[in-house]
Structure 1
Amino acid sequence: MIKVKKFMALLFSLVLVLSLTACGGKNAETETGNAGTDTPAATEGTDDGTATDNAGTDTAGGNVLNVQFDVEVASLDPQIATDGTSFEVLADTTEGLYTIDASGLPALAMAEGVQKSDDGLTYTFTLRDAKWSNGTPVTAADFVFAWRRLVDPKVASEYSFIAEIANIKNAADIIAGKKEPSELGVTAKDDKTLEVQLDVPVPFFESLMAFPSFMPVNEAFFTQQGDNYGTSPDTILSNGAFKLTSYEPAATTISLAKNPDYWDTGKVGLDGINYQVIKDSQTAMLSYQNGDLDVVTLSGEQVEQFQSDPEFHNIMAGYLWYISPNQKVKGLENLNLRMALALAYDKSAIVNNILKDGSIVADFAVPTLLATGPDGKDFRETTGTYLSTDKAKALDYWKKAQAELGIDKLTYTMIVEDTESAQNVAQFIQSEIQTTLPGITIKIETMPKKNRVERMQSGDFELGLTRWGPDYADPMTYLDMWETGNSNNYGFWSNSDYDAIIESAKKGELALDPAKRWDALKNAEKIAMDNAVIFPVYQKGDAVMIKSGVEGIEFHSVGINRIYKDATKK
């Protein structure tokens, strides 16, 4: 049976009352390569980190899973990667202290034991006997090195903030340049003992430890590879269930083979995984029907055709798709204009007529089925909805904006990644806005996802159709994005009341009172929505075809979207 993550009773119920259930994250997309071909030789190395050729590992054959991606892998450096596609491959090849089990709960991985102090501020992990794919042992020092990289301002990781979310001691000051990375609250007591100190208790800390940003890196190997680290099988080490046999940046095919050196390799059912980046849904489905793919994602146009097929599966994902307005662009600083744009397009038509994949209308910033509060209820059950489609109100807001800005017409360009579904949604929104708000022209500029993300991170955009997937099971995985100065605050919005709530909920008085914290986060979402910081569009559902005989793929809405360790193929 396919295992679908049940998020409702997750970490919030476990710990934040301790009740909390909570990346980033994101998805990603090109021409097809032939599945089932022999892959290049895997690489091994000596203890000093020198990579050497291994006897060729053949990942062809019946026990290799062939999976479609619709966007390219952006990075296989765990401290640099920011998107769900990269996270998925990292989870195949690299293992942190914890993983997430089939039910969505954190389970020990590289750590075989943990002791937590009574005050919740110190975790002491005992590492199991495990090896990197070059034969060197995985040690506590590998975690120390990786985590210091994560917070080092010189590295400038886009995910450095997650160390602050984890409240690792001194992380915030190090990221701000006030302290040195060596002062981070993580210490290798010996090769097998890792001590982590926190500034304040974090109920979902163990869940965070399964996130790719906290995966270990072997320092000697990393140093030897230099700028080439993570760019090919020769420049990547694995301590996970699989190891890379074929990869290069922006590759359209990525091949992995079962890692015989993995500590739990006996439980790994597949001999390998072949990923193919295919952006066109028709091409992808033809490959599936021809037997070249085992797992493929359908577009909205294909759902009606295949939804009665026994190999069809509908899976609710955690991704929130939204439009981010850059408030440094003239006009978009005006609240009435932002409100007009946010209310002008029919979200129901998007999910029902374009996507048709189980996606739902998003009238919120924090998705449904993400986090359970101290009251045992999903965050969305006891809070409001915002920015619902209302074309008449949108026109009224547009007229107010015209008067305030002293203009009759405006033209903005919306940047969009070059996936089929993203372009279809963008074109519909373009038509809706231009029809609802006479005088506004929306142009669309398409590009690979990596470029779209880079443009938005640098502020080189006007409107951007983007998405965020939850990194951990708590509303903060969304809400802290819009704090002043956050690297994911693409629109450069700033609100002191909002900032105060977020900071207190992370490490202040609210952090120590789960019920008050929960109510405060609801208020924070309302502030953001009332200010139209983003224009929500939909919460993603996935329509997936999975070949009969393939079992054990775990689908998750938080962190890593798909995990294959327990997958089998008959």
Structure 2
Amino acid sequence: MVSNGKKVVQMFVALALFLSILASATNVSAQDENVLRVQTEVEIATLDPNIATDGTSMEAIAALQEGLMTRNQEGEFVEAAAESYEVSEDGTVYTFKLREDAVWSNGTAVTAHDFVFGWQRLADPATAAEYSFILDTAGVKNAAKVTAGEVDKSELGVVAVDDYTLEVTLEIATPYFLSLMAFSPLFPINEAFYESTDGQFATSPETIISNGAFVLTGYTPAGATTDLTKNPDYYDVDSVSLDGLRFQVIKDSQQAVLAYQTDQLDVTNISGEQVTLFSADPEFRSVEQGYMWFISPNQLNENIANTDLRLAIGKAYDREVISNNVLKDGSLPAAYFIPQLLADGPDGTDYRDVAGRDLMSSNAEEAQAHLEAAKEALGTDSFTLSLLIEDTEASINVAQSLEAQIEATLPGVDIQIEQTPKKNRLDRMREGDFDLGLTRWGPDYADPTTYLQLLITDSSYNDARYSNEQFDADYAAIQTGDLVLDPEARFAKMIEMEKLALSEGAVLPVYQAASAVLVKANADQIGFYTTGTPRIFKYAVKQ
């Protein structure tokens, strides 16, 4: 119970925080009314395209930089830094002709060498980039060998034929290759500028240059605000209506709504009761996302390594309660791992419609039966498990519901919520310093492998430490083996793989996210996407 004195202190702290946000935002709006002010729930962790792993950082990077491809106003993938491209008959060699009017914000030309350097740095084991796997996912020749340290990065299948011709060689034809060329880990990096930053690359406006719609004018890593200004040297500057962008971190949704209502924000997320309150407002939007939220059960914990305990937890909570009563933002209860509306099968049917939606059902009786089996196998009647979450309002609310439901369904199981900033959560899960982790994954491209690859034994994102030889073998077959050129068999195998993983409690799905958003009536043309970068602001307007 919180005392009245503590309540007063908390109220003053919240008021002080809001006044700080208000003063900061007022300064920006007074300087330039054509700046789009966007709330984010977490900090921008990094602006280094090779290092960023979260959607918020990737949104900012995509505003600053461009790859070979980008999305147009209709959401289609079109040429960006590349003016055109050709593909060999067997689909394994892509030759990109770069536009000669593209320059970095320091006046240096954007060349094929910048892509070679950026990709080689991404693959280099010395960089320790978590997204290095994306090169192998794209099918780039020798990517896996380079990231494993087996061959030098110069052996990567990317070559600058000349300043404006880039040749990419793949191990095998990759259907979604071009869509990945719009993804931030594969953006170019100018080597001379990178070397000039003396190890401080992309940590301040002085240590980053842009080839995209905006340039960086205000930023500190994990800071509360990030400011961007229109890039006058951008080749397509005529398509950019905004004079700038401001990303503002406000984790509490009530404070965010207050800032929105007092015209200090143009775009904000809302959740819980606020969705009900604003659902009839003409500025309300519900945006379906590809993000899957799930519990990652760390199998380094000897109790969680027991399959029955994982399945007991995964069946103990009602997903509809979380979606409909806690979030209330259009998010879908998910007893599956691969989201709907991600990818179609060979006959054009959505993957989820074929694979089914009830792969890990909420069932109290089954949960209790699995718990009894776990107790017998592990020789104990009680389990105390921490649930690591990030300190956002939605995560806290969902975690509290999970805690209450799991403990009510499973006698002897004690869930202890541990909240921390998102970056710390990610670091701890990567290091294996957790029991259960409430986490999410957004699809990088429109294929089920963007999720399945998380569960490969050696995947850098396999926080659960799940390992199954059959799963690994099947993944090799659908990516580089004899199923690659058999769409029907490949599709069927991916369905089998998802069912296998969930039958063993590799992950415990919770919900497929939707975003409840308020967007000012005078703001428009923000691109919302379910794959790759979640939001793109190049074409946004503020009237």
Range class of TM-score, shorter chain: over 0.9
2:102 matched to 1:113?
no
* Whole-angstrom CA distance in 1 between matches of 2:362 and 2:368: 12
SS of the aligned residue for 2:387 comes to: strand
Q: Please show how residues 29-68 of structure 1 align to structure 2 within 5 Å.
A: 32=21, 34=23, 36=25, 60-68=31-39
Measure the CA separation in 2 of the matches of 1:83 and 1:209.
18
Q: Give how far 1:557 is off.
A: 0.7
Contact 1:35–1:292, Cα closer than 8 Å, also in 2: no
CA deviation map 1:85-111 (0-9, x unaligned): 000000000000001234433111100
Cα distance in 2 for partners of 1:155, 1:65 equals: 34
User: 1:255 maps to which residue?
Assistant: 227
Deviations 1:452-499 (A, max 9, x none): 000001111111000000001100000011001101111111111100
Task: Give the distance between the partners of 1:75 and 1:59, measured in 2 at CA.
Answer: 28
Letter in 1 for 2:403: Q
- The answer as to whether partners of 1:35 and 1:66 remain within 8 angstroms in 2 is no
Structure-2 separation of matches of 1:375 and 1:339: 33
Which residue matches 2:418?
Answer: 445
2:14 counterpart residue number: none
TM-score, normalised via structure 1 length: 0.90
Cα distance in 2 between the residues matched to 1:226 and 1:442: 45
Q: Does the 8 A contact of 2:22 with 2:264 survive in 1?
A: no
Identity across the alignment (%): 50
Structure 2 unaligned blocks of 5 or more: 1-17
Match of 1:141 in 2: 113
Tell me the equivalent position of 1:517. 490
| 1:292-346 CA distance string (max 9 Å, x none) | 0000000112011111000000110110000001111021111111110000011
Rounded to whole Å, the distance in 2 between the matches of 1:35 and 1:275 is 12
CA RMSD of aligned residues (A): 1.3
Q: In the alignment, residue 309 of structure 2 is paired with which amino acid?
A: L
Count of residue pairs brought into register by the alignment:
523
Matched, 1:321 2:256: no
Asked if structure 2 preserves the Cα contact closer than 8 Å seen for 1:229 and 1:236, the reply is yes
Letter in 2 for 1:234: E
| Partner residue in 2 for 1:173 | 145
Matched, 1:84 2:29: no
The answer to whether the aligner puts 1:124 opposite 2:95 as a matched pair is: yes
Say yes or no: does 1:190 pair with 2:162: yes
- Post-superposition Cα deviations, 1:4-48, rounded to whole Å, max 9, x if no partner, equal xxxxxxxxxxxxxxxxxxxxxxxxxx9736455567xxxxxxxxx
Of 492, 511, 518 in structure 2, the residue corresponding to residue 538 of structure 1 is 511
Tell whether the 8 Å contact from 1:63 to 1:270 is kept in structure 2 after alignment: yes
CA contact (8 A) 1:412 1:442 kept: yes
Q: Does 1:73 align with 2:44?
A: yes
Matched to 2:470, the amino acid is D
Q: Does residue 566 of the first structure (1) align with residue 539 of the second (2)?
A: yes
Structure 2: distance between partners of 1:371 and 1:59: 45
Deviation string for 1:484-543 (max 9, x for gaps)?
110111111111110011111111111111111111111110110111100000000111
> Within 1, Cα distance between the matches of 2:480 and 2:242?
43
Contact 2:22 2:259 in 1 (8 A): no
Amino acid at match of 2:78: A
Q: AA paired with 1:116?
A: V
List aligned pairs for 1:430-441, cutoff 5 A.
430-441=403-414
- The answer (yes or no) to whether the contact 1:127–1:192 under 8 Å persists in 2 is yes
- The reply to whether residue 312 of structure 1 matches residue 284 of structure 2 is yes
Q: Structure 2 matches for 1:188-267, cutoff 5 A?
A: 188-267=160-239
Q: Tell me, yes or no, if the aligned pair for 1:59 and 1:273 is still in contact at 8 Å.
A: no
In the other structure, the counterpart of 1:292 is: 264
One of 470, 473, 476 as aligned partner of 2:443: 470
Q: CA deviation at 1:359?
A: 0.1
Q: Unaligned regions of 5+ residues in structure 1, if any?
A: 1-29, 40-57
Runs of 4+ residues deviating >6 angstroms: none
2:320 equivalent to 1:375? no
C-alpha spacing 1:479/1:75, structure 2 compared with 1 (3 Å) = same
CA contact (8 A) 1:351 1:359 kept: yes
SS at 1:317's partner residue?
A: strand
Distance 2:519 2:401 in 1: 29
Instruction: Name which structure has the greater RCO, CA cutoff 8 Å, separation 6+.
Output: 1
